[in-house]
Amino acid sequence: MNIAVRYCSKTKFGNTMRIAEAMADALGVKAVSIMDEPKLPEKVDVLFLGGAPYANIMAPELREYAESLTSDMVDKVVLFTTSNWSRRTVLALKKILRERNIEVEDEFFYAHMLNIENNINPAKEFALRKKKEISVNI
């Protein structure tokens, strides 16, 4: 199974980056910022994709990235987000991706921005559990 982890993190704290890196570490892949790689270089079976809301809206870069994905490049997406309280980014991403006929897991990972350190291991566990669940269904 080909798995990729991509994220959009724009703050100096790098909360989303830290969660992405934890997931990638557990999955044995590298977490890559969408700013560094604006397009997937190859087809993936499962894409873990995350970002946080900025002023309660999705980062334009993350929206553009999601809108550039196609169902022939990604079989399934698992979402994650970090924020103070809003899960709007995940809801917006689900809508965009599903409109593009990309399968999106209903369950997503949420980490409160003030509690990132305590969410590192749960992020790893979530990623491994999702990988296992998805591999059974492929």
The CATH number of residue 124's host domain is 3.40.50.360
Alpha helices in 60-138 (DSSP H): 60-68, 88-99, 120-137
Q: What is the largest CA-CA distance in the chain?
A: 38
Distance CA 114, CA 61 (A): 24
Whole-structure pTM over 0.75, yes or no? yes
Cβ partners under 8 Å of residue 79, min gap 6: 48, 49, 50, 90, 93, 94, 104, 105, 108, 109
- State how far the Cα of 110 lies from the Cα of 79, in Å rounded to an integer: 9
Which structural domain, as residue segments, surrounds residue 9? Answer: 3-132
138 found inside a domain: no
Asked if residue 113 is part of any domain, the answer here is: yes
- Which residue type, as a one-letter code, is found at position 19? I
Distance CA 60, CA 57 (A): 9
Is residue 27 a part of any domain in this protein?
yes
Specify the pairing of strand 53-54 against strand 57-58. Answer: antiparallel
pLDDT in tens, 104-135: 999 999 998 888 999 999 999 999 999 999 98
> Residue 12: pLDDT above 70?
no
User: Are 3 and 32 a contacting pair, CB within 8 Å?
Assistant: no
Assess whether pLDDT exceeds 90 at residue 10. no
**Count: domains in the chain:** 1
Tell me whether residue 19 is in a domain. Answer: yes
Residue 138 confidence (pLDDT) above 60: no
